[in-house]
Amino acid sequence: MFFYLAKAVWFVLQPSTFIALLIGYGAILIWTGWARWGRRFVSAGALLLLVAGLSPLGNALILPLEDRFPRADLDRPPPPAGLIILGGAENRLVGSARKAPTVNEAGERLLEGAILAHRFPEAKVAFSGGDAGILYKSNSEAEGAATILTQLGVARDRLILEANARDTYENAVYLKKELEAEAKFGADSRWLLITSAYHMPRSMGAFRQAGFEVEPWPVDYRTRGPADFTKPFDKVSEGLRRVDTAAREWVGLLAYWLTGRINALFPSPDRTERSQG
């Protein structure tokens, strides 16, 4: 139920959709007896479009997320027992139709996973991702990830595939069960979590709440760091997309915290932060 409700609410609340609805509704009102309100709505929508699309707002929103968790120290022993790659890096709808590997802008999750797999040849490589589509269904991301990872040189017998998770919390819960069933999970095992940097706070919080201690390995950075805090965008579409991405994570953090899927509103690198339930 949470999955479908979250999808529906976010469709309306995401900044790009909200702005479009505001302008569209205002345009309709202009041709009615509520023309004054229509002009107000259109003006407000146009102003929001310019601010979200061209100002540094998107970078300002995403930077705290990207900088929250530094990468784990891989030089200290012991080496990782396993690597966890979260789904969200593929376009399975297109990939299934074209019969070809199809990654999106988060494709570094898979690329970095393969790089680390070669660096630590004894580590298992676990992937978690099902089919999160509602209007358009496809096969699981795990199927596509297995193909891509093996083509990048990762042996098939090293892969552990979880193909049912539709969101971050399910990634943590289902993958933990999968690893326990295969006797690959242990309190002393060192596991790296690979996902987009802006997505790492919510991911770390969800894994902690599931009782799965992992170490962060953020990838897919969208900014250079503080230097981009005041950097405007030269394309409205790019700025608006950045605002959508960041807003989705902030709203996701709030929703996860309110529903008990994470135990801190903004999970921190503090390793003493543990699950409360």
pLDDT of residue 86: 97
In a domain, 179, yes or no: yes
- Mean pLDDT calculated for residue range 245-259: 96
Q: Is the pLDDT at 8 greater than 90, yes or no?
A: no
Q: Is the pLDDT at 214 greater than 60, yes or no?
A: yes
% of the chain residues with pLDDT over 90 = 78
In a domain, 126, yes or no: yes
In a domain, 244, yes or no: no
Q: How far apart are CA 100 and CA 186, in angstroms?
A: 36
226 CB contacts (<8 Å, ≥6 apart)? 63
In a domain, 38, yes or no: no
- Is the Cβ–Cβ distance between 149 and 125 less than 8 Å? yes
Q: Is the pLDDT at 276 greater than 70, yes or no?
A: no
Q: How far apart are CA 172 and CA 91, in angstroms?
A: 21
In a domain, 113, yes or no: yes
pLDDT band at 139 (very low <50, low <70, confident <90, very high): confident
Average per-residue pLDDT for the chain: 91
pLDDT of residue 277: 41
Of 132 and 175, more confident: 175
Q: Is the pLDDT at 133 greater than 80, yes or no?
A: no
pLDDT of residue 5: 74
Q: How far apart are CA 254 and CA 264, in angstroms?
A: 9
pLDDT of residue 233: 97
Q: Phi and psi dihedrals of 94, rounded to 5? A: -75, -45
Q: Is the pLDDT at 14 greater than 50, yes or no?
A: yes
Q: Is the pLDDT at 271 greater than 70, yes or no?
A: no
- Is the Cβ–Cβ distance between 96 and 181 less than 8 Å? no
What pTM did the predictor assign?
0.91
Q: How far apart are CA 35 and CA 93, in angstroms?
A: 42
pLDDT of residue 181: 82
- Is the Cβ–Cβ distance between 90 and 133 less than 8 Å? no
In a domain, 193, yes or no: yes
- Is the Cβ–Cβ distance between 89 and 268 less than 8 Å? no
Of 186 and 209, more confident: 209
- Mean pLDDT calculated for residue range 41-55: 97
Long-range residue pairs from 26-29, CB within 8 A, at least 24 positions apart, any chain: none
Place of tokens 């891989």: 74
Domain range spanning residue 145? 72-221
List the CATH number of the domain containing 86. 3.40.50.620
Q: Is the pLDDT at 111 greater than 60, yes or no?
A: yes
- How far apart, in Å, are the Cα atoms of 97 and each of 101, 137, 213? 10, 12, 37
Question: What six digits make up the tokens of 27?
Answer: 């345009």
Q: Phi and psi dihedrals of 197, rounded to 5? A: -55, -40
Place of tokens 């991405």: 245
- Is the Cβ–Cβ distance between 3 and 17 less than 8 Å? no
Report the number of distinct structural domains present in the chain.
1
Write down the H helix ranges in the chain.
Answer: 2-13, 15-30, 35-54, 57-66, 92-98, 108-119, 141-151, 168-181, 200-209, 236-258
In a domain, 129, yes or no: yes
In a domain, 37, yes or no: no
- Is the Cβ–Cβ distance between 105 and 240 less than 8 Å? no
% of the chain residues with pLDDT over 70 = 92
* Strands, sheet with 159-162, edge to edge from the N-terminal-most edge strand: 159-162, 124-128, 82-86, 191-196, 215-219
Residues in the chain: 277
pLDDT band at 46 (very low <50, low <70, confident <90, very high): very high
For residue range 144-191, what is the model confidence (pLDDT) as tens digits?
999 999 999 999 999 999 999 999 999 999 999 988 887 776 667 899
pLDDT band at 137 (very low <50, low <70, confident <90, very high): low
